[in-house]
A = this chain, B = another copy of it.
Amino acid sequence: MSSTRIHNFSISLDGFATGEPQSLEAPFGHAGERLHAWMFATPFCGGDGPAGIDDAFARRHDEGFGAEIMGANKFGPPGWQDDPDWTGWWGEDPPFHTPTFVLTHRPRPPVEMKGGTTFHFLTADPVEALEAARDAASGGDVRIGGGATVVRDFLHAGLVDEMHLVLVPIVLGRGVRLWDGIEALEDTYEIETVSSPSGVTHLSFTRKAVT
């Protein structure tokens, strides 16, 4: 059975997944790279950090996925829809290597990149988007890639099987908050918490078996 999973989703202590304002020069606003520095330091990402807990979690990003779904705000800076040549932040060979579905109210034709990533653009609610992604995933799992709004929408729809959050010890004060309108996840998920020597804390949410 194909699972729907979220990995390496970093938030500040106060729950922001990005700072503000987001722009071409500052994709995460005033957060800069601080939310993701833990990940860039892992061997998985080519960093010189240890092959320890952060690396083990980071690697799960690539394990067993057949498709990704992301929001418009992950794909590009505000206004990317007006640039017909915009193909994402990640250069010619994006790190997805599967069909990747970008949720947008202004769809465009698919774009095939190097390394197996093809961007598909669609206007869809979470159920419809997951159906399209599962069809394309050839039995693999579907990654919900963020941002915070998309993660929230999929949690609300009850479609997330596993969620890995990374709590980064900074207080952003403003930006896009993951938690708004979410309540009582502990009823639906087992929650495991473990701190890393790097200073971040990994939170693993695993959907409870229905009894």
Contact = CB atoms under 8 A, between A and B. Distances in A.
Interface residues of A, number: 26
Interface string A161-179: 0000001011111100001
Contacts of A173: 179, 181-184
Interface stretch (A44-52, A64-72, A117-125, A188-196): A188-196
A57 B179 CA distance: 27
A99 interface: no
Q: Is the interface of A mostly helix, strand, loop or mixed?
A: loop
A185 to B, nearest CB: 4
Contacts of A15: 13-15, 179
A172 B183 CA distance: 5
A18 to B, nearest CB: 14
Contacts of A171: 179, 182-186
Contacts of A182: 14, 171, 173
Top 9 closest pairs, chain A to chain B, by CB: A173-B183, A14-B179, A169-B191, A171-B185, A195-B195, A193-B195, A170-B186, A194-B195, A193-B201
